[in-house]
Amino acid sequence: MNPQRLYKYLDFNEGSLKAISDATLKFTSPKDFNDPFDCLASYSDDFVNLSIKNQREHLYRASDNKKLSPANKLMAGVRAMRRAKSNIQDGGIFSPLRDSDIGVLSLSSNKDNLLMWSHYCRHHTGFVLEFEPEWYGPRSALETPEIRLNSLVALEVNYSSDRPVLQGKENASQKLDKLLLTKSIDWEYESEFRVIDNFRKAGIHPYKRKLLKGVYAGAKMGINELKTLKEIIVSANYKHSLNIQAFQMDLQRYSFSLVEHEIQL
């Protein structure tokens, strides 16, 4: 699925407002995600055993201590192997994410999810940005940072009842799916798409201004905050010759749903 528009849910604060004024977005390290299972694949027994076998000599050398007897050295080596096996099974070894060398921008294909507004927009007092990504294409785009990142090329997240299991035979695309693009089915309501940054890493990074098409204020945003938001949109439109539209969400009277109305700037 390649939606024409993608959305970013944000709290109302100085940093999030810079997403409009400065055209910057935060790419988060996977270690800071709120789901402990996110980006943490499991490993098959064959993969774990092969990894331990390949590391056997290294593990024994690492546990070597001249003050120990041969028997105690052997036991120390066995304990080191057990710890390594446990670390592999827990994702602590071989994970390309353990050094926080990847940044992820999470977007959504919908703008009116009640839970998203509650969780990520501080109870409907924040706002949502609407983007029109410039390009969707094959995974080869991941190798072209200037296309993938500045144009917000995003990959769809898959939802599953089972944790992904690495067998050790996966190609790069399969590893990407299992490590970065598979989440528990409990999160399916987020309809998430991810821009993956392994070039600039995690941090605050720019995007092409013309991709921002709309801003949606929360149904419970205060008057002063709404005034500030409108001023920033007007300023961005004027300074950069943009046409960012502004909306505010309303609570429907007879249903548990949201609908937007356009705001005059």
- In the chain, what are the domain boundaries? 6-37+100-263, 42-89
In the three-class reduction of DSSP (H, G, I as helix; E, B as strand; rest coil), residue 177 is classed as helix
The model's pTM: 0.81
Model confidence band, residue 179 (pLDDT cutoffs 50, 70, 90): confident
**Rounded Cα gap, residues 187 and 117, in angstroms:** 14
Neighbours of 134 (CB within 10 A): 14
pLDDT at 167: 76
Percent of the chain with pLDDT over 90: 51
Residue 229 CA, distance from chain mean position:
25
Q: What distances in angstroms separate CA 141 from CA 58, 74, 126, one per listed residue?
A: 38, 49, 32
**Rounded Cα gap, residues 229 and 17, in angstroms:** 8
pLDDT at 51: 60
Residue 22, φ and ψ in degrees, nearest 5? -105, -5
pLDDT at 55: 58
Answer whether residue 138 shows pLDDT above 70.
no
Q: Which residue has the tokens 């919908």?
A: 110
Higher pLDDT among residues 37 and 106, named by residue: 106
Higher pLDDT among residues 95 and 242, named by residue: 242
Answer whether residue 169 shows pLDDT above 80.
no
Do 203 and 105 contact (CB within 8 A), yes or no?
Answer: no
